[in-house]
Amino acid sequence: MTAARINIIKGNASEIARVAGTDVRTRGVDATEVKANLVALSQSLARQRNAVVVVTGPEDVVTDTRKTRRVQNGHELMTSVVGTGCMAASVIGAFAAVEPDLSLAAACALADYGIAAELAAEQAFGPVSFKQRLFDCLYKLDRETVNRRAKILG
């Protein structure tokens, strides 16, 4: 195989801005401030690459060539734990494996992941206990809780 098709492009604001061709500086895996309109930037990249684009942050943006959704679940403690972005990518991949609408899969994955983070933060004393509780909350997450707490706009 000489080529692969990328169906979902996921990153924080500065990573997505860089992929879209914007001149930004990214410090390792940390996001830096991006002055561009992230929704417009992600929509443009989605059209250019014919892919779902996911921008993670305080409010996640998920867009494809047809629809844009904003996911408002999550907790600021997620920024204190290394690997939460990578874990989000794994959750998105799991949802994409069973939902043919990849944009919907990504938005639902981020909502579920964010809800688990919200629940974990309610029980955490700091970043270490938050990380442990995040795994437990993901494991125990149920449909009723998701239906009650999901904040997907669009």
Q: Is residue 101 in a domain?
A: yes
Task: For residue 102, give both structure tokens.
Answer: 């990849």
Task: For residue 11, give both structure tokens.
Answer: 């990153």
Q: How many domains is the chain built from?
A: 1
Sheet holding 152-153, edge to edge: 8-12, 52-56, 60-63, 68-71, 152-153
CB atoms closer than 10 angstroms to residue 142: 8
Provide the domain limits for residue 51.
8-148
What's the rounded Cα separation, in Å, for the pair 102 and 123? 32
pLDDT tens figures, 3-27: 888 999 999 999 999 999 887 766 5
Q: Is residue 3 in a domain?
A: no
pLDDT at position 34, please? Answer: 72
Q: Is residue 94 in a domain?
A: yes
Residue from 87, 69, 97, 74 nearest 135 by CA:
87
Q: Is residue 90 in a domain?
A: yes
Query: pTM value?
Result: 0.92
Output the domain CATH number for residue 36.
3.40.1190.20
Q: Is residue 99 in a domain?
A: yes
pLDDT tens figures, 37-93: 889 999 999 999 999 999 999 999 999 989 999 999 999 999 999 999 999 999 999
